[in-house]
Every structure is written in C-alpha cells, then in structure tokens.
Amino acid sequence: MILRRLLPLVLFAAAISAVVAGCSRRDAGAGDEFHTTVPVIATDSSSARATASPGASATVPPGPARCTTLPADLKVGGTVVREMLVGTQTRSYRLHLPPGITSAAGLPVVLNFHGLGSSALEQELYSGLVPLSDGKGFVLVTPDGSGLPRGWGLSFLANRNNEDLDFVDALLGTLDHELCTDAARVYSTGMSNGAFFSSLLGCVRADSVAAIAPVAGIAWFDTLDCGRPMPVIAFHGNADGTVPYQGGEIFGVIPYAGAVQNIDSWAAHNGCDAGEKWKQITGHVDELSYDGCSAPTLLYTVDGGGHTWPGSISVNRLGPTTSEIDATEMIWAFFKDKSVPR
C-alpha cells in the first residue's frame, strides 16, 4: 500500500529523467563528467574510498599546502562523480567546480538535494545550479540519496541522527580537508524530499549550514531542538498535488502541516515579530515575510504552481511551472551574504 502511494514520486523521477535526457536547463553541460579517485580522508563518521582510476594519485599534501592547488582528479569548470564510505554504505556525490580557478580555498559551497526517487544528475539539471556555479564562483555539491526509491532519511521524527546526516558530515569534512572551502558559507537547497532534508540540516546542523532554501517542501520539526536562528527562503506552489501547500497528508500517509504553517514556525524560531507580511511580486507569485527577525525568513507562493521548481523546465506530470520568477537565481542572491556565526 505504501509503495503504491509512493507512485507519484516514482513518476516524478521518471518524468524528470525523460525531460533531462533530451535537454538541460541553461545548457548545464551534463556530459562534462568524470569518475575520479577520492583521497582517503578520515572523519568522525566516515572515510573517503578511492574508486579505480589508473594513474591517479590519492596522496594529499600535509598542512596548508594541500589547498594551494586542486587535487589532480578534479576538473575546473566540470563535474566529477565521487564515492566515499560512510559507515557500511558507499555513498556518491557530484562535485562541480567553477571555471577559471586554480584553488577552491575560501569558496562557498552549495549542497543540492534531489527529491524521492530522483538522482543527483537529475537534480543538477533540474535546478540549473551548474551554470550559476560557473557564473558566481561557488562549489556545487549534488549528492545521491540511498534506498529504494532513492531519497533522504527522515528518522528525525525519532532522534537527531541518521545515516544521511553522517554522509553530510563526512562530505563537508572532506571538502574542508581537500579544498579548504569556506566552512562558514555552506548552503543547502533541495527539491521535495530534498527540501525536507535541507530543512532538517537547517535545524540540526545550524553550526555547519549558513542558510537553507527548500523548494516544494519546507518542513519544521516540533520534536527537535533546533539550533541558532536560520536564514530561510522557501518556494511552494499552492496547487502542489504531492506535498499539499495547505497541509494534509503526503501520499495519504505522512502528515504535513502546510507551507505557511511551517514557515510561520521558522519565523517564530528566528525571533520574528508576530504577524505575516504578504506582498504580490508578480501576477502569480506572492512573498510572505516578517519583521524583526534575527534571521531573514521568506516564503514565495506560486498561485496555481505544481510540485515544481520555479523557473525550471516544465514537467507536465508535476503540474504547472512558473516562469515569472527564477528560484535558482533568487536562492543564490539570498545565500551569498549569509555565513555561520563564528
């Protein structure tokens, strides 16, 4: 019965796959991809595992010298697929570096999480973040979930720990060790199930993530003690047939409070004044904001919008996609000046 109720997201993945097979958003260059050796980097919860790549070296220079140049396996202006061992699971992620750099030291990082049943490649294309990485100069990391259908664990209903959180911890540890990216400027976005997981990171990894941008699935966690005030920008269509904007049940199984109620909860967490401020910004898009916040808190509602990423390619099975706003551009504009307090 539950698998039957998961069918809409399986269809979501199939729909995205069919579309991205024939085109890419903003000419994302999906063919620019290399499977690479990963240096063995130990962290508290994982170690990176090298994949077979004849002639590649897994040697990491000690000390600060390791970040003056890029590891030989990475490609400037291109994407590599890497693996690491997290506990007993082999996990993979797509790592894209912007062009024109000789080192990634000090660059911000955007984590980009796919929806249930989708994949890192599909999310990379659907979100359109590769061209933005190239233009704005941030490191883009798009991980693959696990399980069947592939997705992100939400065991936060019981406690703060799950294997996907361990994966993120290991991933950020590896980026810090290998590339010396800016640990205070790590951001998280995602679609649907990936939006829920980005919301979770904003709660339980507030010391590692500077801001979050859930698309088609902002979540709040009454059972958890979230960290510091968290900058949030969210997007949701009010005709979403998968994650009900007004609240209800996802697949008839998972209770969902609704997009407005959840952003209200984030606003309360962020110390905002009581009272919602609504403003129409285009013919079919309304902005919800709040005064007096310790961290900016925004929701963009697409009137008639489906389970979709605003400004992306249209996927009929997911419902209408607005072109009146570009969520990808708006997300980076929101992220770029945020940092984790140190």
What span, in angstroms and rounded, lies between the C-alpha atoms of 268 and 323? Answer: 31
Q: What does the alpha-carbon distance between residue 329 and residue 320 come to, in Å, rounded to a whole number?
A: 19
Least confident interval from 48-52, 138-142, 159-163, 271-275: 48-52
pLDDT-derived band at 342 (thresholds 50, 70, 90) equals confident
CA atoms within 13 A on the CB side of 134: 14
Q: Tell me: the pLDDT tens digits for 45-67?
A: 333 333 323 233 333 444 456 68
Residue 237 in tokens: 């269509």
Handedness of CA 84, 86, 92, 93 (dihedral sign): negative
Give the whole-angstrom CA distance, residue 216 versus residue 234: 8
3 has a pLDDT exceeding 70: no
CA distance 328 to 170: 26
Q: Is the pLDDT of residue 124 over 80?
A: yes
Compute the distance between CA of residue 145 and CA of residue 119 in angstroms, rounded to an integer: 7
CA-to-CA distance for 82 and 94, rounded, in angstroms? 6
Q: Are residues 250 and 7 in contact, defined by beta-carbon separation less than 8 angstroms?
A: no
**Is residue 160 within 8 Å of 133, Cβ to Cβ?**
no
- Give yes or no for a contact between 305 and 321, defined as CB atoms under 8 angstroms apart: yes
Rounded Cα gap, residues 36 and 15, in angstroms: 29
In 3D space, the residue among 222, 224, 216, 231 whose CA is nearest the CA of residue 301 turns out to be 216
Average pLDDT over residues 83-102: 95
> Distance between CA 101 and CA 26 in Å, rounded?
22
What letter represents residue 319's amino acid?
Answer: G
Structure tokens at 35: 């499977």
* Proportion of the chain above pLDDT 90, given as a percent: 71
Contact 259, 245 (CB under 8 A): yes
Structure pTM? 0.86
Q: Give the pLDDT mean for 170-175.
A: 96
What pLDDT band is residue 40 in, cutting at 50, 70 and 90? very low
Cα atoms in the 13 Å half-sphere on the side-chain side of 224: 25
- In the predicted structure, residue 214 carries a pLDDT above the cut 60: yes
Whether residue 234 is predicted with pLDDT greater than 60 in this model: the reply is yes
Domains recognised in the chain with CATH numbers: 2-51+71-335 (3.40.50.1820)
Token pair listed for 44: 């508290």
Of the candidates 112, 119, 159, 156, the one whose C-alpha atom is nearest the C-alpha of residue 138 is: 112
User: Residue 311 burial (CB < 10 Å; 0-12/13-18/19+)?
Assistant: buried
Residue with tokens 């000390």: 63
Side-chain-facing half-sphere of 216: CA atoms under 13 Å: 33
How many CB atoms sit inside 10 A of residue 336's CB?
15
Residue-averaged pLDDT of the chain: 85
Residue for token pair 């966690």: 221
